[in-house]
Amino acid sequence: MTVQPFSQSLMVLAAVMGLGGAIALPVQAEPQPQAPIQVAQAETPGTIVDVASGNEAFETLVAAVQAAGLVETLSGEGPFTVFAPTDEAFAELPDGVVDALLKPENRDLLTEILTYHVVPGEVMSSDLETGPVETLNGGLAVRVDPDKVVVNNGSVIMPDVPASNGVIHAINRVLIPAGVADELASRMQPEPIRGLW
């Protein structure tokens, strides 16, 4: 399956990601260190939402999935592949952005962002190829290097976390589809969010 370059990241995620037993994928060292993600061991993994909910690294993502009303969808049969932003990824967003996205009046934008992190079907890291990949809300750009996988401007920091209805790849950035950042900025006036994207 071919993967496409991710648009620039913004925030909240793409519903989903917790961790079960994952295969460590070599990742090139980043400028800022990332706290290790704790992986809960389970014989039979739950759904993508269950796995994400069971891991402290995805608390913001889970809150976003709930606010967007996507719990039922991401708990469905699938299968889905979710590039899941960690809490640290959300923390990289400008002040006020996450709070704004979680407001009921911005549910449409939150949904666009989250579905931008979800690919139909189960795509393991070994199946990823450099190129475009279609999500539920547009295309991402994927680059596969010998030592890492980059999606748009985010890196996969833990691949192949199993779920009963798909797989989760934890990433260190929130991916934002084209146009969403500008629309959110206009809604946040008169408090501009400069340097966001």
In a domain, 138, yes or no: no
Q: Is residue 120 part of a domain?
A: yes
Residue ranges of alpha helices (H) inside the chain are 48-53, 59-67, 71-74, 87-91, 97-101, 107-115, 180-187
Q: Structural domain tally of the chain? A: 1
The enclosing domain of 55 has a CATH number of 2.30.180.10
In a domain, 29, yes or no: no
Give pLDDT tens digits for 41-71: 546 789 999 999 999 999 999 999 999 999 9
Residue 24 forms part of a structural domain:
no
Domain that holds residue 52: 48-125+157-187
Q: pLDDT tens, 16-44?
A: 333 333 333 444 445 455 555 555 554 67
Q: How far is CA 168 from the centre of its chain?
A: 9
Classify residue 65: in a domain, yes or no. yes
Q: Is residue 116 part of a domain?
A: yes
